[in-house]
Structure 1
Amino acid sequence: MADALDFQIINALQIHPRVSWAQLSKVLAVDASTISRRWSSLISERRVWMTCYDSGAPKTRNGGVSALVEVRCVSGRRSEVIEELASKPPIFSVNCTSGSRDLFVLISTPSLVETDRYVDEHIASIPGIIATQTHYLRKVFFEGSSWRLQALSPTQVKSLENLRPPTKNVERKAAYQEIIRALQTDARRTAADVQAETGRSIAVVARDIDAVLSADWVRWQVDFAQQLMGWSAAAVLWLNVNRTDQDRVVDSLTRLNQARFCALVTGQANLAVLLWLHDLEELDNIEHRITSAYPHIEIHDRWIVPRIAKRLGHILDVDSSHRRFVPLDGGDKVLEV
């Protein structure tokens, strides 16, 4: 089990993924060599990993479509289906769940037609799958890339934000895409390492890394093996929310640290919320808080998620430790849940 310092280091890198150990030493009041050793252990033990990716935000505004797809499997074939789904780049996440479906996956394509086609030709056709049901995402309010551990004090958070280059509107360039690919699974790679891979001068590479770090269309994600580090379960709540309550409900969910993803969806419920839980009792408390604050909300359904098999392209073992990465090159935009 990780301790408080491990969580502080992870939280710090969620805010500023390329902060130097010397800078972080001052923020955490911990020796830089200790921080470096802890981070190396977390990585080598496959309990922590990183991702850098193009969020595809401009394409989203031009009509990109994401969808959550329920999958039903033949009895005894679920593991085979998971392996096949996880190998496909356009499928960013694969989750085991409860109820009438065995799994749900998150995909993204440029259009409704292409989403429908992908589900039919590349998901429903997999041997061992007997049925699918698609829920299109109408609007995403927040996702996993913005989720934080909240292991740091407000002063520490502010210090790290001040050390990071401010976010700005950076033009997309082919050179920046090359940098993103080089940093895709390790946002902390040195400029020298990236220079050796790209063949460009180290000064240009360092400049481009800084530009990518500040670009408003780039996401830097630090994630961890949630089951090994204290989160034993997850759940999806399907809510029916009145339009007049929608903004207030979403604002409340944004401030709920268990909530990692929230989107308007098509179907019998109109709002889906993914929660990370330390135990299932937390779900009862969260539901009570929501329905007490907003009596008109209807909880249409709840799915328990005992295992996340793939998250943001990273394939995970049964214990949620990192196994391998499937490059994120198959979708119009990327959402991390």
Structure 2
Amino acid sequence: MQESAKLSELDLAIVNALQISPRGEWSRIGAALGITGATAARHWERLTREGLAWIATMPGPRFADDGTTAHVFLSAEPKYHVALAERLCEEPVAATVARVTGGHDFRLDCFTRRQESLDQIISERLSGLPGVTRTETAYVTRVHRQSSSWRSGVLDQQQSRSVAVASPATHGRRAAFDSVDSALLDALGGDGRLSWAELGACCGVSPQTARRRVEQHLASGHLALRCEFAASAARPVREASLILNVPASRLEDVGRYVAGLPNCRVSVQVLSVHNLVATFWVHDLNEIHAYETEIEARAPGTVAISRSVTVRTYKRVGHLLDREGRSVGRVPLPMWRPE
């Protein structure tokens, strides 16, 4: 990879290392990259200060077992698109907001603790927004791959192994959230690399309590940490999605197959007029046609309900993005709050 104007080769390597181990020790990351830990930390501080990279908290792959994860698609009159994007970004339950081509104009990734809460928000707040002409909700029933598992592939295998850290042994796996958990995960959402001492001090608990609770949520699969970066600052990529209806007998197999494709960011089964959503980051949109051909060969009878390209992402996992994809603010996710 050639150096870009904003992310150097070293910056990209650090981002890849943090995709693998979001809270990895700088000394370990530095050693894998052939630099000092202090140098790695200094580069990361610049990236976060300029909004070029950040660590986000998000619901993990098991969140859909107890909470509600859904894709909400909105159609709207074109003259309202700009104002509507701003309003959608203000909605905490809409963790990710993107304008897309295809059968709809906007796609939202939504998370709530209860389905009733999401249904109420859609019917009472989203459907009535100026310009909205139609909404469609697809409830996620199974996650084969989520974006926190995607890797940029800058590091070689040896470096990746050196950076990886074994999951810590935890006593009990937390799924419920109380006010302490809410405060901890809210603080992590602002800076996913806060030390345990800093995190505990922010929330009025000991470093040991902060570490134990966060690691329990991570181990439960209800919480994930994800290293994001401004895609415009690296090699140009395009985000595109296939909205598919796969024969029921092949749905599980196809979902896993798609999840294993190198450019796959998301592969989830959903309950709607379609049953599989697959999102890819590619350098050439023709790659999407090739993936669709492979999927149809693997599961004859598969129908593409829609093919979409992301025109602009306004918000990603609670972080507000400018036109260059840099993080310029945050709307805390609501699902960590106790009910």
- TM-score normalised over the length of structure 1: 0.86
The alpha-carbon deviation at position 85 of structure 1 amounts to 0.6
Matched, 1:66 2:69: yes
Distance 2:195 2:147 in 1: 26
Q: Which runs of 5+ in 2 are unaligned?
A: none
| 2:82 is equivalent to residue 44 of structure 1 | no
Q: Deviations over 1:260-296 (max 9, x none)?
A: 1122223443211111222323223322333344444
Report the Cα distance in structure 2 between the residues aligned to 1:75 and 1:114, rounded to whole angstroms. Answer: 28
Which residue of 223, 231, 234 corresponds with 1:226?
231
d(CA) in 2 for partners of 1:11 and 1:82? 30
Report the alpha carbon displacement of residue 126 of structure 1 after superposing the two structures with TM: 1.3
Instruction: Give the conservation status (yes or no) of the 8 Å contact 1:92–1:107.
Output: yes
2:109 aligns with 106
**Alpha-carbon distance between aligned partners in 1 of 2:212 and 2:312, rounded to the nearest angstrom:** 40
Q: 2:249 aligns with which of 244, 253, 263?
A: 244
1:288 corresponds to 2:288: no
Deviates more, 1:324-333 or 1:80-89: 324-333
3-state DSSP class of the match of 2:253? helix
Name the residue aligned to 1:324.
329
State the SS of the aligned residue for 1:234: strand
Identical columns (%): 26
Amino acid at match of 1:160: V
CA contact (8 A) 1:80 1:128 kept: no
Matches within 5 A, 1:77-116: 77-116=80-119
Partner of 2:132: 129
Distance 1:330 1:85, change over 3 A: farther
Take 1:167 and 1:155, find their aligned partners in 2: how far apart are those partners? Answer: 27
Query: 1:114 and 1:203 mapped to 2: Cα distance?
Result: 34
Other structure's SS at 1:37 match: helix
Match of 1:120 in 2: 123
Q: How far is the alpha carbon of 1:245 from its aligned partner? A: 2.3
User: How many angstroms apart in 1 are the aligned matches of 2:237 and 2:279?
Assistant: 14
3-state SS of 1:138 partner: strand
Task: Give the equivalent residue in structure 2 for 1:76.
Answer: 79
How many angstroms does 1:122 deviate by? 1.0
Contact 2:71 2:109 in 1 (8 A): yes
2:240 counterpart (211, 232, 235) = 235
2:311 aligned partner? 306
- The alignment's C-alpha RMSD in Å is 2.9
The question of 1:258 aligning with 2:255 is answered no
Query: After alignment, is 245-254 or 156-165 more displaced?
Result: 156-165
Q: Which runs of 5+ in 1 are unaligned?
A: none
User: Aligned partners of 1:311, 1:319: CA distance in 2, in Å?
Assistant: 13
Cα distance, 1:17–1:331 mapped onto 2, change above 3 Å? closer
For the 8 Å contact 1:180–1:212, the answer to whether it is kept is: no
Structure 1 CA distance for aligned equivalents of residues 103 and 121 of structure 2: 22
- Tell me by how many angstroms 1:331 deviates: 7.5
Aligned match of 2:279: 274
Partner in structure 2 of residue 22 of structure 1: 27
The offset of 1:233, in angstroms, is 1.9
CA drift of 1:79 comes to: 0.9
Q: Size of the alignment, in residue pairs?
A: 331
CA offsets 1:55-100 (integer angstroms, 9 cap, x no match): 4946x434x3332222122232111101111111111111111134
- Any conservation in 1 of the 2:57–2:317 contact (CA below 8 Å)? no
8 Å Cα contact 2:72-2:108 kept in structure 1: yes
TM-score by length of 2: 0.85
Q: Which residue of 2 aligns with 1:160?
A: 163
